[in-house]
Amino acid sequence: MITLYTAPGTCALASQIALEDAGAVYKTIAVDFKTGQQRSPEYLKINPKGRVPAMIVERGILTETPALLAYIAQTYPTAALAPLHDPFAFARVQEFNQYLCTNLHIAHAHRMRGHRWADDEATIEGMRRAVPRTVGECWETIENDLFVGPWAMGADYTICDPYLFTLAQWMEADGIDPARFPAIADHRKRMMERRSVRAALGLI
């Protein structure tokens, strides 16, 4: 059985949705960020980075959302969550998810975790104020250049979709009006209609 370490409101949701999509047998363990459990010696043995998600599989522990999503797609090929037999198309899936990870997610993190990059309070506050602009620029790139439609990569639902959906949940808190990005807003609405999403969110 797969064990997925999660925390509410984090990108771990993407991997849980993908596990539901795949029909995987798994369990979740919530990490309490409010009490600092992610920095406890016990959890650091699982993920020395002190973050979620972390996923325990038969061969060991995996971290980082793009890696977890690729693992799920490749481990459950009949779920057809990625174009595994087309190296170029699969690379495009990885490209999309890496952009979410290395650009959008980092820009979002400047709102509440500026201490990762600066010690000066004025600098941290400046980073926080810039979030609506920097995150908005990422969403503009996704809406105009990366998102194909009706799903992230085109006609077929892939592991890009739960990741995109998860990060889109943060738009309002980041000062982003979803109405600016109609394709993403429509995607978010349609994702909420999927059983895998509702199951991962505890709605069924």
Determine the Cα–Cα distance for residues 173 and 82; give it in Å rounded to an integer: 30
Is 26 part of any domain?
yes
Residues 81-117 have pLDDT tens digits of: 999 999 999 999 999 999 999 999 999 998 988 788 8
- Mean per-residue pLDDT over the chain, rounded: 96
Give the tokens for residue 182: 């109609």
Q: Give the pLDDT of residue 115.
A: 83
What range defines the domain where residue 168 resides? 87-194
Give pLDDT, residue 183: 98
The residues facing 56 across adjacent strands are: 3, 61
54 has a pLDDT exceeding 80 = yes
Q: For position 159, which CATH number holds?
A: 1.20.1050.10
User: What order do you get walking across the sheet with 54-57 strand by strand?
Assistant: 26-30, 2-6, 54-57, 60-63
74/92 same-domain check: no
- Examine residue 52 and state whether it is found in any structural domain, yes or no: yes
Q: Which residue has the tokens 């650091």?
A: 44
Query: Given pLDDT bands bounded at 50, 70 and 90, which one contains residue 47?
Result: very high
| Domain identity same for 45 and 70 | yes
Token reading at 91? 């690379």
- Structure pTM? 0.96
Looking at 80, 101, 127, the residue that finishes a domain is: 80
Indicate whether 20 and 119 sit together in one domain.
no
- CATH number, position 59: 3.40.30.10
Q: How far apart are CA 93 and CA 13, in angstroms?
A: 18
pLDDT digits (tens, 9 = 90+) for 133-159: 999 999 999 999 999 999 999 999 999
Shared-domain flag, residues 31 and 100? no
Counting the structural domains of the chain, the total is 2
pLDDT at 184 over 90: yes
With a pLDDT cut of 70, the percent of the chain lying above it is 100
Asked if residue 204 has pLDDT above 90, the reply is no
Mean pLDDT of the 160-185 span = 98
What is the per-residue pLDDT for 161?
98
Last residue of a domain, one of 27, 61, 80: 80
- Residue 106 shares a structural domain with residue 187: yes
In a domain, 204, yes or no: no
